[in-house]
Copies of this chain bind each other. A is one copy, B any other.
Amino acid sequence: MICVDDAKEMLDRFSYDRRIRVDVYDSLGCVLAEDIISDIDVPSFDRSEMDGYAIKDLNGRRFKLVAEMHAGDDRDVIVGDGECVWVATGAKIPVGANLVIPVEKTQRLKDDVIVYEPQRESHISKKGCDIPNGEKILKSGCILHERNIGIIATLGVRNVLVYGTPNVGVLSTGDELSRINDVNSLTLSAIVKQSGCSPIFMGTATDDIDLIKKKIVEAMKYDVIITSGGISSGKKDLMPIIVSEMGEVLFHTVKMRPGMPMLAGVIDEKPIICMPGNVTSCLVCAHVLLFPMLRKMAHLPLIKTIRCARLSEKAVSEYGMRRYLPVKLTDGVAYPTFRGSGLITSIAHADGFVEIKEDETLTEGEVEVWVF
């Protein structure tokens, strides 16, 4: 039996480094696996920031309108002394122009334009001022969101190299699944999705050593295998035998409640994580140990939201065991919802956990709640 922190450390050894190329359109939430270096100047020409009139300088207030430039117009128009050119927002600045007078600061008199308010700002975005050619503008490891996707789109990059995320085979075991509904494969698949990875449901297997082994062999095409059930001390608890025969057991039983029976192993260098069959134990192990492991393998950060609350009643951990107490938060008070590790309602309506360290007693009062 190992402690929670040692179990975490053992699972932390697993990594996953496949890189794949995806269309930028599908890259939201992906982790970049290459630096993005600009090979163009953005903008690629001096560009007007406003609808207005481009002039050489403000010597005088009256300018003769000699041309119009709209966005997308590629001509090289020239502006001379005393002349102006209409420029739309985004239009190319005429050769010779040094500033743009916004249209609302001007008046049009036939072919002439009168400036009635002098300007200090040029309202010109110089070539390369947004992103200069050659700049490393995004670094490998950053998570793509709606804003930095904008940078990639600006550069005209159509696809990017990102970290692939593990495919996770999910298997529920137990003779009882013929009589009761399989819950763990659904909750575990949801946790896998939330971690950024992809669950593949492998079905259920009765407590039959050959059948379970066959299913695991099938699952070896995935990157991680998760099972539930069959890890306690009964005759039909076959997972410890199966994992030790097919690979290596890393740990079996963790000093935590609920979730104590959990097992983790390696088969052909791939992690196999065997969760307790009890539905709430299974979810607690998934949050505490599986989720961080999968986030790391997906190259995604683990973000814990901690909210302070007042615990409604005294809570203790067992001797040497860390306890994860599901609680519901109401008006700043944390009410324990735990009634038994086999009952789904022990955790289904909870908002988070209170972690009670080994041999600790929490009296009513301020606690930190690790919010789901």
- Per the 8 Å Cβ criterion, residues 24-69 of A in contact with B are 24-25, 28, 42-44, 47, 49, 51, 68
Q: Which of A189, A277, A279, A348 has the most CB of B within 10 A?
A: A348
Instruction: Annotate A106-138 by CB proximity to B: 1 below 8 A, 0 otherwise.
Output: 000000000000000000010001110000010
Do A70 and B178 form a contact, CB below 8 Å, given A277-B90, A344-B131? no
Residue in B145, B175, B343 whose CB lies within 8 Å of A73 = B175
For A330, what are the chain B residues with a Cβ–Cβ distance below 8 Å?
none
Do residues A129 and B175 form an inter-chain contact, with CB atoms below 8 A? no
B residues in contact with A341, CB < 8 Å: 49
Binds B, one of A10-18, A93-101, A218-226, A233-241: A233-241
Interface size on A, residues (CB 8 A): 79
> Chain B contacts of A147 at CB under 8 A?
187, 283, 344, 347-350, 372
B89→A234 contact, CB < 8 A: yes
Given the known interface contacts A43-B180, A44-B180, A153-B186, the answer about A342 and B90 at a Cβ–Cβ threshold of 8 Å is yes
Do B72 and A179 touch (CB < 8 A)? yes
Q: Is the CB of B150 within 8 A of A51?
A: no
User: Residue of B at shortest CB range from A68?
Assistant: B235
Which A169-187 residues have a C-beta within 8 angstroms of B?
174-183, 186-187
- A190 near B: Cβ within 8 Å? yes
- Find chain B residues with CB under 8 A from A320 CB: none
Contact between B72 and A176, CB atoms less than 8 A apart: yes
Return A357 CB to nearest CB of chain B, in Å: 23
**Inter-chain contacts of A365 with B (CB < 8 A):** none
Write out the residue numbers on chain B whose beta carbons fall within 8 Å of the beta carbon of A25: 186, 189, 201
Cα-based distance from A350 to B146 in the complex (angstroms): 11
A175 surroundings in chain B (CB, below 8 A): 70-73
A89-B278, A175-B71, A189-B25 given; A343·B149 CB < 8 A: no
> Of B28, B130, B277, which one neighbours A89 at CB under 8 angstroms?
B277
What are 27 contact pairs spanning A and B, CB under 8 A? A44-B179, A44-B180, A49-B340, A70-B175, A72-B177, A72-B178, A73-B175, A88-B234, A90-B174, A90-B180, A90-B278, A90-B342, A91-B176, A125-B343, A129-B339, A130-B342, A130-B345, A145-B372, A147-B344, A147-B347, A147-B348, A147-B349, A150-B183, A152-B186, A153-B182, A153-B186, A154-B181
Besides A72-B176, A147-B349, 11 other A-B contacts (C-beta < 8 A): A24-B186, A71-B174, A72-B207, A74-B179, A90-B278, A129-B343, A130-B344, A146-B187, A149-B190, A150-B183, A150-B186
Chain A residues at the B interface, C-beta cutoff of 8 Å: 24-25, 28, 42-44, 47, 49, 51, 68, 70-74, 88-91, 103, 125, 129-131, 137, 145-156, 174-183, 186-187, 189-191, 193-194, 201, 206-207, 232-236, 277-279, 283, 286, 339-345, 347-350, 372
